[in-house]
Amino acid sequence: MSKIFKNYKTWCKFLGRKHSLRLPQGAQPHEIQQRKILYMGLFLLIWGEAANIRFMPECLSYIFHNMAYELHGLLAGNVSVVTGENIRPSYGGDDEAFLKKVISPIYHVIDKEAKMSNNGKAPHSAWCNYDDLNEYFWSADCFSLGWPMRDDGNFFKSTRESRPIVQVGRSSQKVSNRSIGKSNFVETRTFWHIFRSFDRMWTFYILALQAMIIMAWSEYSLTEIFQKDILYSISSIFITAALLRFLQSVLDLVLNFPGFHRWKFIDVLRNFLKILVSLVWAIVLPLVYIDSPSINLPWNELSKWLHQLNGVPPLYIMAVALYLFPNILAGILFLFPMLRRWIENSDWHIVRLLLWWSQPRIYVGRGMHESQFTLFKYTLFWLLLLSSKFAFSYYMQIKLLVKPTKDIMNVHNIHYAWHEFFPNASGNYGAVLSLWAPVILVYFLDTQIWYSIFSTLYGGVSGAFGRLGEVRTLMYIHFCWFFLETVYQTIKLIKDTLLK
């Protein structure tokens, strides 16, 4: 019974509703067993008659939730709060009542949405598939359908449906179509998704590239990275990170705009607050970096031990510390997947409030994190891969281009025989751009090469320890020789036949 109703109980807990699997109190064991059998039989009957609705498990949970409640009230003789009479099944009395009055209306919605796809030619935002329709039951708003289900519920409305006619004097006009789709996730197809979907990777690569260029241009060695001047210059990557975060928050709103009307107020508020906060950081960090007043802060005493911070604006240090605090907290949670899994699966209101800013609350995909050992192997693999990549990029690509770049920028009074793209520039930026463009392109793409190398090495070592393809007996070697001889004779016979 626990396996059958595992998803149903999780669904009820997610929506904050008490499940309808109520057992008689103080009854005999055989009566409790009989009630469990009735619940299991009801669920299996619903699943058997559901047809294609089986692809919508949370929809089945909604149907079972209401029918199990009626079953309990019917057996216990409870009185309905609405009618004042004994609880009776909402659907029943007619032949095939469940199929006609429960399954068929939901199936008609699926069929209507499928026809809107125009055999896959219509835009994806113009219709809903099974997952989109099932997503409607991930919110407590699904209980607004009631039981028996109301025909005028939002679920039974089309993805595109017109508003009522508005009378204006003698004339009447129909307001333009308004999207009332059931899915909360409707994205705009664009190449900007290459950045938005992998924003952490792109941000990390851009910040690492900026830091390496600053190091190579300043001609400091890696052992001198904690010097005040170079450390202050490298800390400008936080300004770049703030600008990229602002770009990402804007893309989050723009690329999900078709589903904007389905968002709740708190979701809209979260997206606008993210844009506002990221914009504030993108303005504040450059200002305190360029001109930060010398004020007495509590951690100014740290300069006695951290001599590298002498001369760095203390207000900028405070701003960077505040900016990095959420990232540090996310990094700590990343190192402990068990804690992160518990937090994401928790239904406590305080936990929901803390997670409200970082991610929307969804039913499917919560707490899907690997074990601690698997995370350690994964992290070690990528640390080795990225260390090799950045070491190669720094010493073999970026550092070697610094001196030629400086020489090109110091050359003046050049008369090109072809068109000059930057005629008024004094640093030969066109030549510098043509020199750096292919290197930057390789820098962003060579991770695939390093991944191929490291995955081959790891696969070889893993296969060796797992004895993959190992021949363990002499009898097997003897069999293989006979098999090879048979294959050779067959191929030779085919060639001789073709020659004749």
Give per-residue pLDDT as tens, 428-460.
Answer: 777 888 899 999 999 999 999 999 999 999 998
Number of domains in the chain: 4
Are 316 and 398 part of one and the same domain? Answer: no
Asked if residue 183 is part of any domain, the answer here is: no
- Please tell me the predicted confidence (pLDDT) of residue 172: 35
Asked if residue 175 is part of any domain, the answer here is: no
Closest CA to 181 of 261, 243, 104: 261
Asked if residue 349 is part of any domain, the answer here is: no
pLDDT band at 24 (very low <50, low <70, confident <90, very high): confident
- Please tell me the predicted confidence (pLDDT) of residue 245: 92
- Please tell me the predicted confidence (pLDDT) of residue 452: 94
Q: Find the domain containing 322 and state its range.
A: 192-335
- Residue with the bigger pLDDT between 286 and 349: it is 286
Instruction: For 308-333, write each residue's pLDDT tens digit.
Output: 555 567 788 888 889 998 888 888 88
Whole-structure pTM value: 0.75
Instruction: For 466-489, write each residue's pLDDT tens digit.
Output: 877 777 777 777 777 777 778 878
Are 105 and 48 part of one and the same domain? Answer: yes
Asked if residue 347 is part of any domain, the answer here is: no
- Residue with the bigger pLDDT between 301 and 219: it is 219
Asked if residue 407 is part of any domain, the answer here is: yes
Are 306 and 381 part of one and the same domain? Answer: no
Are 121 and 218 part of one and the same domain? Answer: no
Are 112 and 14 part of one and the same domain? Answer: yes
